[in-house]
Amino acid sequence: MRKIDDLTPQADVLSLLEDAFGLIEGKRILDVGCGNGGLVRSLVKRGAEVVGIDPNAETLRLAREAVADATFVQATAEALPFSDDSLDGAVFLNSLHHVPASDMNIALREAARIVGTGGPLVVIEPLAEGTLFYVLRLVEDETAVRHAAQEAIDRAIESGLLEQTSVTEYVRHERYSGLEEFLDHIVAVDPARAATVEERRSAVEEAFSTHGRKSEDGSYVLDQPMLARLLRAKARPDGNSG
């Protein structure tokens, strides 16, 4: 396993995608669970033809406003509205663990289907550890779903659906000006967290103060260990990749 450290949230992802896809320019890439389009924007700047899917209509509205030169489709990972072998690669960035655990295998099978035999698939997931995780779990404990995402990938490899070409572990360093920015961020990711944030605010504030590492510029840094798994779709026994 390759390990890298001290990387910003965006730089690490792009270097890993270049490892998986080679030259990004001209590639047709699917961002599964694209959120507000941050990764889509970066890929478009590098010349990719990007399609972002997300089940949330409001999130997609913001993504369309932010990235005019991409295609956005409201859809779920477990029912991708694309034909077999129609895209050059697919990315799950912090999104597989948001798929219902019972459907994670279906989501990976769908991604393998649309990239076709030999097509690259990158799954980058946060691990259930690190100071960011320790603070966040007071609002939403993702321990079970984060483990489930890794187990789903393992099953896809064991079944012959996917083969793993490399694994990279790295630490994502998230900076916040203070507690309010942190809370605004985690609620923006999932508005359903708002009520819990208010209910447990004092405990979250204490954890943020305990685990946040204050930097020279006055910001607070929380660390999130990440696992990036670079995969390729394999042909199925019936000759199909999906």
Name every residue whose Cβ is closer than 8 Å to that of residue 143 and which is 6 or more positions away in sequence. Answer: 128, 137
Does 220 reside within a domain?
Answer: no
Does 19 reside within a domain?
Answer: yes
Does 211 reside within a domain?
Answer: no
Q: What is the pLDDT of residues 199-217, one digit of tens each?
A: 999 999 999 999 999 999 9
Q: What is the pLDDT of residues 99-153, one digit of tens each?
A: 999 999 999 999 999 999 999 999 999 999 999 999 999 999 999 999 999 999 9
Can you give the pTM of this predicted structure?
0.90
Does 158 reside within a domain?
Answer: yes
Does 86 reside within a domain?
Answer: yes
- Identify the domain containing residue 151 by its residue range: 2-128+140-171+225-233
Give percent of the chain with pLDDT exceeding 70: 92
pLDDT of residue 239: 47
Does 159 reside within a domain?
Answer: yes
Strand pairing category for 49-54 and 28-32: parallel
Does 70 reside within a domain?
Answer: yes
pLDDT of residue 188: 83
Rounded Cα–Cα distance for residues 92 and 108 (Å)? 9
Has residue 68 got a pLDDT over 60? yes
Query: How many distinct structural domains can be found in the chain?
Result: 1
Has residue 12 got a pLDDT over 70? no
pLDDT classification of 50: cutoffs 50, 70, 90:
very high
The enclosing domain of 81 has a CATH number of 3.40.50.150
Q: What is the mean pLDDT of the chain?
A: 91
Is the CB of residue 139 less than 8 Å from the CB of residue 203?
Answer: no
